[in-house]
Structure formats: C-alpha cells, structure tokens
Amino acid sequence: MKNIFFYTALTMIFTLSSCAQQEEEVGHNELSQAEKEEGWMLLWDGETFDGWRGYGMDHVPEAWTIEDEALKIQGSGAGEAGAMDGGDLIYDQQFQNFELKFEWKVSRGGNSGIFYLAQEIEDLPIWRSAPEYQILDNVNHVDAELGIDGNRKSASLYDLIPAKPQNSNPYGEWNSGRIIVYRGTVVHFQNGENVLEYHLWTPEWEEMIENSKFAGWEEFINAGGEDRKGYIGLQDHGDDVWFRNIKLRLRE
C-alpha cells in the first residue's frame, strides 16, 4: 500500500511538470524555457556526438550517424552489434535518480532498446547489467510474439514486464518515451501513458529475475551496482532506428 501512494504522488508531480512543458513549442533537440527552469538537460544536441561513446570504447562507432535531426544506428542486418564498426552507444556520465524522456522510431521490423543504470564491465555486454526499455516494431518483428504476455513489445521491461496498454505507433512514425528512476521505483511511459511500474532491489525484483532467463546474473539483479547509478545506453540490434529529443533531469 505504501508503494501505491508513493508511486501515485510521484507520477502526479512528474506528469504536471510535463504538461506545463508541452505548452511551449520548441524545435527538435532543444530545451524550452520551462524545461530549463525545471532543470532539464539535453543529452544529445542534435548536431554532434558530444558526450557519447561506444560501450567499452573511447570513440563513437561508425555505424552511428546523424540524419534529419536524429541520432541513427545504421542497420547491418547482422543482428545485435553485428556491424563491423557498430555496437551500443552510451552517454558518458552515470545517473542515479532521474527522469529521462526521448523520441524514437524504427524501420520495418526494427528492434532496439534503451538501457539504464548500466555498468561498463570488461568482457560483458551492456545487457548483462542493465534493465532495458524495449523498442520494437510490434507488427513486423517476431520478438513481439515471443516472451510471455507481450513482455517483449515496445516500452516493456524487456522479457520481464509487459507494457500495458500497448499503444506504440507503426514503424516509420515517431513515438515518445519516458523513464523515471527514483530510489528504486521505475516507471515506463509510452506516448504519454504510464505502461508499467516496478521496484528494483526488492525481494519481488529478485524473485522475478530468478524465474526469468536472467536468473543468476548478479550484475543484473544489482542493477546500478554498489552506488545505485549507471550509464544510459542506446542499443545496436542490427536495424535502422532513430532517436531524438533525448533529455534528462536529476531527481534527488
């Protein structure tokens, strides 16, 4: 019951502030005056790769490009991180309590994801330590029919909790997403609707992981590591995917 009241208050605060921001129109990859006053920061400036690098790298892989005011992963058709110079992209700063918002679109049959609280661990992929906000063409990618109860569809906590209602737009159209991470409470939004909530580092979290394909992955169970913070990452899954308006504000 305590979690329900906490979550309701949390959502009301964040939703009211988001509504205020919508009143002021700004260009892509820019902050409105209201956003500036509320402490939002741009994670991507729309023009350069400043602040970003490949996971486990000191540079940005060439498979990532800038196209039509969007950050794009060029599909290789070779599956996850299959491009010769591909790989997942991370913002080179770790965050603990935050609100992240972004827009995304996929090509036909496209698949990607947004990782958060990720650790950079040598010889381990990013998904070994990070929860994933799934990005998917639900109609044309086989992953939408796999998993359990739709937990591989867009905005789901990948392969763990389905996003409901499922309200994604078709491939080629932009979707908006939002992730709240606050003292272990995590909420996913898609196209303005709250689609799931869960709580990290609890007995319920550990039980859910133990009954999933992630069983035994200590890095995943302890997402965020000892300091309960980590990187935000964009996934290269071998398909064309675009991101823009990536913005974050800290929550203490």
Q: For residue range 215-235, what is the model confidence (pLDDT) as tens digits? A: 999 999 999 999 999 999 999
What does the alpha-carbon distance between residue 46 and residue 29 come to, in Å, rounded to a whole number? 5
Across the chain, mean pLDDT equals 91
Cβ atoms within 10 Å, residue 19: 10
Instruction: Give the pLDDT of residue 176.
Output: 98
Identify whether 4 is part of a domain: no
Task: Please give the tally of structural domains in the chain.
Answer: 1
Query: Could you give the angle at the alpha carbon of 226 between the alpha carbons of 220 and 228, nearest 5°?
Result: 75
Instruction: Give the pLDDT of residue 5.
Output: 45
Identify whether 24 is part of a domain: no
Instruction: Give the pLDDT of residue 25.
Output: 79
Identify whether 11 is part of a domain: no
What does the alpha-carbon distance between residue 118 and residue 129 come to, in Å, rounded to a whole number? 6
- The DSSP secondary structure of the chain, one letter per residue, reads -HHHHHHHHHHHHHHHHHHHHHTS---TT---HHHHHTT-EES--SS--TTEEETTSSS--TTEEEETTEEEEPP-SSSTT-STT---EEESS-BSSEEEEEEEEE-TT-EEEEEEEE---TTS-GGGT--EEEEE-TTT-GGGGSSSTTTTSTTSBTTTB--SS--PPPTTS-EEEEEEEETTEEEEEETTEEEEEEETTSHHHHHHHHTSTTTT-HHHHTTTTTTT-BEEEE---SS-EEEEEEEEEE--
Encode pLDDT of 140-169 as tens digits: 999 999 999 999 999 999 999 999 999 999
Identify whether 228 is part of a domain: yes
The amino acid occupying position 136 is L
Instruction: Give the pLDDT of residue 16.
Output: 47
Instruction: Give the pLDDT of residue 8.
Output: 52
Q: What is the CATH number of the domain that holds 206?
A: 2.60.120.560
Encode pLDDT of 6-46 as tens digits: 555 465 555 545 544 455 678 999 999 999 999 999 999 99
Structure tokens at 47: 């023009």
Instruction: Give the pLDDT of residue 26.
Output: 86
pLDDT band at 55 (very low <50, low <70, confident <90, very high): very high
Identify whether 235 is part of a domain: yes
Whole-structure pTM value: 0.90
The pLDDT of 175-192, averaged and rounded, is: 98
Instruction: Give the pLDDT of residue 247.
Output: 98
Identify whether 26 is part of a domain: no
Encode pLDDT of 64-104 as tens digits: 999 999 999 998 776 665 667 899 999 999 999 999 999 99
Nearest to 144 by CA among 108, 179, 118, 177: 108
Instruction: Give the pLDDT of residue 81.
Output: 58
- Residues 6 or more apart whose Cβ sits within 8 Å of residue 59: 53
The residue range of the domain holding 242 is: 39-250
Instruction: Give the pLDDT of residue 116.
Output: 98
Structure tokens at 194: 């709250």
Chain position carrying tokens 């800038």: 66
Identify whether 80 is part of a domain: yes
Identify whether 193 is part of a domain: yes
